[in-house]
Structure 1
Amino acid sequence: MKTIKLITGLFVLLITTVVWARVEVATLRGNTPLNEEGKPPMMAQVVNDDEKLQRAYPMQPPIIPHKIDGYQVDMNTNTCLSCHSRKRTPESQAPMVSVTHFMDRDGNFLADVSPRRYFCQQCHVTQDKVRPLVENQFKDVDLVLKEEQAKQVK
Protein backbone atom coordinates (compact mmCIF):
# COMPACT_ATOMS: atom_id res chain seq x y z
CA MET A 1 0.00 0.00 0.00
CA LYS A 2 2.83 2.37 0.91
CA THR A 3 4.56 1.53 -2.37
CA ILE A 4 1.46 2.49 -4.39
CA LYS A 5 1.18 5.81 -2.53
CA LEU A 6 4.89 6.48 -3.11
CA ILE A 7 4.66 5.67 -6.82
CA THR A 8 1.49 7.78 -7.17
CA GLY A 9 3.19 10.71 -5.36
CA LEU A 10 6.28 10.47 -7.58
CA PHE A 11 4.10 10.30 -10.70
CA VAL A 12 2.16 13.42 -9.64
CA LEU A 13 5.45 15.19 -8.89
CA LEU A 14 6.82 14.23 -12.31
CA ILE A 15 3.69 15.44 -14.15
CA THR A 16 3.69 18.70 -12.15
CA THR A 17 7.37 19.29 -12.97
CA VAL A 18 6.81 18.65 -16.69
CA VAL A 19 3.79 20.97 -16.81
CA TRP A 20 5.57 23.68 -14.77
CA ALA A 21 8.65 23.51 -16.99
CA ARG A 22 6.51 24.45 -20.01
CA VAL A 23 4.88 27.44 -18.32
CA GLU A 24 6.73 30.68 -19.04
CA VAL A 25 6.37 33.26 -16.30
CA ALA A 26 6.64 36.89 -17.35
CA THR A 27 8.90 38.86 -15.02
CA LEU A 28 10.19 42.40 -14.84
CA ARG A 29 13.71 40.98 -15.12
CA GLY A 30 13.07 39.88 -18.71
CA ASN A 31 15.55 37.20 -19.81
CA THR A 32 18.25 38.20 -17.30
CA PRO A 33 19.39 35.21 -15.22
CA LEU A 34 18.98 35.47 -11.45
CA ASN A 35 22.73 35.52 -10.84
CA GLU A 36 23.25 38.55 -13.13
CA GLU A 37 22.19 42.16 -12.87
CA GLY A 38 20.14 43.35 -15.82
CA LYS A 39 20.43 46.64 -17.63
CA PRO A 40 18.14 49.17 -15.91
CA PRO A 41 15.33 50.65 -18.01
CA MET A 42 15.58 54.22 -19.24
CA MET A 43 14.34 56.85 -16.80
CA ALA A 44 10.78 57.81 -17.65
CA GLN A 45 9.83 61.36 -18.52
CA VAL A 46 8.04 63.22 -15.71
CA VAL A 47 4.65 64.79 -16.43
CA ASN A 48 5.44 68.52 -16.47
CA ASP A 49 2.26 70.28 -17.58
CA ASP A 50 1.20 71.90 -14.26
CA GLU A 51 -2.34 70.52 -14.70
CA LYS A 52 -4.06 69.34 -11.57
CA LEU A 53 -4.29 65.55 -11.86
CA GLN A 54 -7.34 63.56 -10.79
CA ARG A 55 -6.86 61.49 -7.66
CA ALA A 56 -7.21 57.71 -7.95
CA TYR A 57 -8.87 57.21 -4.56
CA PRO A 58 -10.37 59.28 -1.74
CA MET A 59 -7.84 60.97 0.57
CA GLN A 60 -4.98 60.36 -1.89
CA PRO A 61 -2.30 63.03 -1.50
CA PRO A 62 -2.25 65.23 -4.63
CA ILE A 63 0.26 64.25 -7.30
CA ILE A 64 2.98 66.79 -8.11
CA PRO A 65 2.20 67.96 -11.69
CA HIS A 66 5.71 69.25 -12.47
CA LYS A 67 9.36 68.26 -12.33
CA ILE A 68 11.08 68.47 -8.96
CA ASP A 69 14.62 67.61 -10.09
CA GLY A 70 17.06 69.53 -7.95
CA TYR A 71 14.48 70.58 -5.35
CA GLN A 72 16.11 70.74 -1.95
CA VAL A 73 14.01 69.38 0.90
CA ASP A 74 16.03 68.86 4.03
CA MET A 75 16.07 69.99 7.64
CA ASN A 76 17.02 73.58 6.72
CA THR A 77 15.36 74.16 3.34
CA ASN A 78 12.14 73.17 1.59
CA THR A 79 12.03 74.41 -2.00
CA CYS A 80 8.38 73.34 -2.34
CA LEU A 81 7.36 76.01 0.16
CA SER A 82 8.91 78.73 -2.01
CA CYS A 83 5.72 78.46 -4.12
CA HIS A 84 3.20 76.55 -1.98
CA SER A 85 3.54 78.36 1.37
CA ARG A 86 0.74 80.56 2.62
CA LYS A 87 2.79 83.71 1.96
CA ARG A 88 3.91 82.82 -1.59
CA THR A 89 0.75 81.45 -3.26
CA PRO A 90 -0.65 84.84 -4.35
CA GLU A 91 2.41 85.55 -6.49
CA SER A 92 3.19 81.96 -7.56
CA GLN A 93 -0.44 80.98 -8.32
CA ALA A 94 0.40 77.54 -6.90
CA PRO A 95 -2.13 75.85 -4.61
CA MET A 96 -1.41 76.39 -0.92
CA VAL A 97 -0.56 73.37 1.19
CA SER A 98 -3.61 71.94 2.94
CA VAL A 99 -4.60 73.36 6.32
CA THR A 100 -4.00 69.88 7.74
CA HIS A 101 -0.27 70.50 7.16
CA PHE A 102 -0.41 73.27 9.80
CA MET A 103 -1.72 70.97 12.55
CA ASP A 104 0.32 69.13 15.14
CA ARG A 105 -0.46 65.57 16.22
CA ASP A 106 -2.88 66.87 18.87
CA GLY A 107 -4.94 68.86 16.34
CA ASN A 108 -3.60 72.28 17.37
CA PHE A 109 -3.00 74.76 14.56
CA LEU A 110 0.54 76.08 14.12
CA ALA A 111 1.81 79.30 12.53
CA ASP A 112 3.90 77.35 10.01
CA VAL A 113 3.94 73.90 8.41
CA SER A 114 4.12 71.12 10.98
CA PRO A 115 7.52 69.39 11.19
CA ARG A 116 5.80 66.04 10.57
CA ARG A 117 4.40 67.39 7.26
CA TYR A 118 7.57 69.21 6.19
CA PHE A 119 9.08 66.50 3.96
CA CYS A 120 6.67 66.64 1.01
CA GLN A 121 7.91 63.60 -0.92
CA GLN A 122 6.90 61.30 1.93
CA CYS A 123 3.37 61.51 0.52
CA HIS A 124 3.45 63.53 -2.71
CA VAL A 125 5.05 62.10 -5.86
CA THR A 126 5.52 63.11 -9.46
CA GLN A 127 3.76 61.25 -12.25
CA ASP A 128 5.81 59.58 -14.99
CA LYS A 129 4.69 59.27 -18.61
CA VAL A 130 4.63 55.47 -18.73
CA ARG A 131 2.26 52.66 -19.58
CA PRO A 132 1.15 50.80 -16.43
CA LEU A 133 2.90 47.47 -15.83
CA VAL A 134 -0.38 45.98 -14.63
CA GLU A 135 -3.84 46.95 -15.83
CA ASN A 136 -5.67 48.81 -13.07
CA GLN A 137 -9.42 48.31 -12.77
CA PHE A 138 -9.82 50.32 -9.56
CA LYS A 139 -13.17 52.06 -9.18
CA ASP A 140 -13.87 54.69 -6.57
CA VAL A 141 -16.68 53.47 -4.29
CA ASP A 142 -18.54 56.80 -4.74
CA LEU A 143 -18.43 56.36 -8.52
CA VAL A 144 -19.75 52.78 -8.25
CA LEU A 145 -22.61 53.92 -6.00
CA LYS A 146 -23.54 56.71 -8.45
CA GLU A 147 -23.55 54.21 -11.34
CA GLU A 148 -25.79 51.84 -9.35
CA GLN A 149 -28.20 54.66 -8.47
CA ALA A 150 -28.34 55.73 -12.12
CA LYS A 151 -29.24 52.14 -13.14
CA GLN A 152 -32.04 51.99 -10.57
CA VAL A 153 -33.52 55.30 -11.78
CA LYS A 154 -33.80 53.97 -15.35
Structure 2
Amino acid sequence: MKLKAIAGIAALASTLMVSGLVLAQSTGAVKSLRGADVETELPAPELYRQQEGREVRNYRQQPPVIPHSMDQYQIDLRTNQCLACHDWSTAGERGAPTLSMTHYLDRDGTQLDTVAGTRWFCNQCHVSQADAPALVGNTFEASASQ
Protein backbone atom coordinates (compact mmCIF):
# COMPACT_ATOMS: atom_id res chain seq x y z
CA MET A 1 0.00 0.00 0.00
CA LYS A 2 2.83 2.37 0.89
CA LEU A 3 4.60 1.62 -2.40
CA LYS A 4 1.47 2.49 -4.40
CA ALA A 5 1.14 5.83 -2.57
CA ILE A 6 4.79 6.71 -3.18
CA ALA A 7 4.50 5.75 -6.86
CA GLY A 8 1.34 7.87 -7.19
CA ILE A 9 2.99 10.90 -5.57
CA ALA A 10 6.08 10.48 -7.78
CA ALA A 11 3.91 10.26 -10.92
CA LEU A 12 1.97 13.37 -9.90
CA ALA A 13 5.16 15.31 -9.09
CA SER A 14 6.78 14.41 -12.41
CA THR A 15 3.61 15.38 -14.31
CA LEU A 16 3.49 18.74 -12.55
CA MET A 17 7.18 19.33 -13.20
CA VAL A 18 6.88 18.59 -16.92
CA SER A 19 3.76 20.74 -17.26
CA GLY A 20 5.55 23.57 -15.40
CA LEU A 21 8.48 23.38 -17.78
CA VAL A 22 6.15 23.45 -20.79
CA LEU A 23 4.32 26.46 -19.36
CA ALA A 24 7.59 28.27 -18.62
CA GLN A 25 8.81 27.70 -22.20
CA SER A 26 5.57 28.97 -23.73
CA THR A 27 5.50 32.31 -21.87
CA GLY A 28 7.96 33.97 -24.27
CA ALA A 29 11.37 35.56 -23.93
CA VAL A 30 12.88 36.14 -20.53
CA LYS A 31 13.04 39.85 -19.65
CA SER A 32 15.38 41.61 -17.26
CA LEU A 33 14.12 43.86 -14.49
CA ARG A 34 14.75 46.82 -16.82
CA GLY A 35 12.34 45.35 -19.40
CA ALA A 36 14.95 44.36 -22.02
CA ASP A 37 15.84 40.89 -23.24
CA VAL A 38 18.41 39.19 -21.04
CA GLU A 39 21.02 39.07 -23.84
CA THR A 40 20.70 42.80 -24.60
CA GLU A 41 23.59 44.94 -23.37
CA LEU A 42 22.33 48.07 -21.65
CA PRO A 43 24.41 51.19 -21.00
CA ALA A 44 25.73 51.63 -17.47
CA PRO A 45 23.66 53.98 -15.31
CA GLU A 46 24.93 57.53 -14.98
CA LEU A 47 27.30 58.15 -12.08
CA TYR A 48 26.38 61.03 -9.83
CA ARG A 49 29.13 63.13 -8.40
CA GLN A 50 29.56 63.82 -4.72
CA GLN A 51 28.53 67.36 -3.79
CA GLU A 52 31.09 69.25 -1.75
CA GLY A 53 30.17 71.63 1.05
CA ARG A 54 27.50 71.44 3.69
CA GLU A 55 23.80 71.38 2.87
CA VAL A 56 21.29 73.47 4.79
CA ARG A 57 18.97 71.39 6.96
CA ASN A 58 15.26 71.47 6.15
CA TYR A 59 13.91 71.03 9.69
CA ARG A 60 15.07 70.95 13.30
CA GLN A 61 16.70 67.69 14.36
CA GLN A 62 17.33 66.65 10.74
CA PRO A 63 20.45 64.47 10.64
CA PRO A 64 23.00 66.34 8.52
CA VAL A 65 23.97 64.82 5.19
CA ILE A 66 27.60 63.79 4.75
CA PRO A 67 29.45 66.33 2.56
CA HIS A 68 32.21 63.91 1.49
CA SER A 69 32.54 60.49 -0.08
CA MET A 70 32.24 57.43 2.17
CA ASP A 71 33.20 54.85 -0.46
CA GLN A 72 36.22 53.52 1.41
CA TYR A 73 34.92 53.96 4.98
CA GLN A 74 34.70 50.89 7.16
CA ILE A 75 31.78 50.77 9.59
CA ASP A 76 31.19 47.41 11.22
CA LEU A 77 30.84 45.98 14.72
CA ARG A 78 34.50 46.66 15.60
CA THR A 79 35.45 49.67 13.47
CA ASN A 80 33.86 53.03 12.70
CA GLN A 81 36.17 55.21 10.61
CA CYS A 82 33.84 58.21 10.95
CA LEU A 83 35.04 58.54 14.54
CA ALA A 84 38.63 59.14 13.39
CA CYS A 85 37.55 62.70 12.56
CA HIS A 86 34.18 63.30 14.24
CA ASP A 87 34.69 61.90 17.76
CA TRP A 88 34.80 64.66 20.42
CA SER A 89 38.42 63.80 21.19
CA THR A 90 39.68 64.29 17.59
CA ALA A 91 37.25 66.67 15.86
CA GLY A 92 39.06 69.86 16.92
CA GLU A 93 42.42 68.89 15.49
CA ARG A 94 40.84 67.49 12.31
CA GLY A 95 38.61 70.53 11.70
CA ALA A 96 35.52 68.31 11.50
CA PRO A 97 32.16 68.86 13.18
CA THR A 98 31.83 67.10 16.52
CA LEU A 99 29.12 64.54 17.03
CA SER A 100 26.09 65.74 18.93
CA MET A 101 26.22 64.92 22.63
CA THR A 102 23.12 62.78 22.10
CA HIS A 103 25.42 60.27 20.37
CA TYR A 104 27.14 59.71 23.74
CA LEU A 105 23.96 58.84 25.67
CA ASP A 106 22.82 55.27 26.14
CA ARG A 107 19.15 54.36 25.93
CA ASP A 108 18.71 55.14 29.63
CA GLY A 109 20.15 58.66 29.20
CA THR A 110 23.45 57.87 30.93
CA GLN A 111 26.40 59.94 29.64
CA LEU A 112 29.14 57.76 28.07
CA ASP A 113 32.77 58.49 27.11
CA THR A 114 32.38 56.64 23.80
CA VAL A 115 29.68 56.64 21.14
CA ALA A 116 26.62 54.68 22.24
CA GLY A 117 25.97 51.38 20.49
CA THR A 118 22.61 52.70 19.29
CA ARG A 119 24.44 55.46 17.37
CA TRP A 120 27.39 53.39 16.10
CA PHE A 121 26.21 52.89 12.50
CA CYS A 122 26.28 56.47 11.20
CA ASN A 123 24.76 55.70 7.81
CA GLN A 124 21.49 54.52 9.31
CA CYS A 125 20.63 58.23 9.74
CA HIS A 126 23.25 60.14 7.73
CA VAL A 127 23.62 59.78 3.96
CA SER A 128 26.20 61.07 1.51
CA GLN A 129 24.91 63.97 -0.54
CA ALA A 130 25.04 63.60 -4.30
CA ASP A 131 23.72 65.56 -7.25
CA ALA A 132 21.20 62.87 -8.21
CA PRO A 133 17.53 63.06 -9.16
CA ALA A 134 15.00 62.03 -6.53
CA LEU A 135 14.06 58.35 -6.69
CA VAL A 136 10.51 59.07 -5.57
CA GLY A 137 8.36 62.13 -6.15
CA ASN A 138 8.36 64.49 -3.19
CA THR A 139 6.38 67.62 -2.30
CA PHE A 140 8.18 68.31 0.98
CA GLU A 141 8.65 71.96 1.87
CA ALA A 142 11.21 73.13 4.41
CA SER A 143 9.81 74.59 7.61
CA ALA A 144 9.74 78.39 7.77
CA SER A 145 11.41 78.63 11.17
CA GLN A 146 14.22 76.27 12.00
TM-score for the superposition, normalised by structure 2: 0.65
> RMSD in angstroms over aligned alpha carbons?
2.5
AA in 1 matched with 2:48? A
1:118 aligns with 2:120: yes
Give the 3 Å change call, closer, same or farther, for CA 44–91 of structure 1 in structure 2. same
Pairs within 5 Å for 1:3-152 = 29=34, 32=35, 39=42, 41-47=45-51, 49=52, 51-133=53-135, 136-140=138-142, 142-143=143-144
Aligned length: 111
The offset of 1:43, in angstroms, is 3.0
Structure 1 unaligned segments of length 5 or more: list them.
1-28, 147-154
C-alpha separation in 1, matches of 2:106 and 2:140: 33
The offset of 1:73, in angstroms, is 0.8
The offset of 1:59, in angstroms, is 2.0
The offset of 1:90, in angstroms, is 1.2
C-alpha separation in 1, matches of 2:99 and 2:83: 8
Higher percent of residues as helix: 1
C-alpha separation in 1, matches of 2:113 and 2:135: 43
Aligned to 1:5: none
C-alpha separation in 1, matches of 2:135 and 2:73: 28
TM-score for the superposition, normalised by structure 1: 0.62
Equivalent pairs: percent with the same residue?
Answer: 40
The offset of 1:116, in angstroms, is 1.1
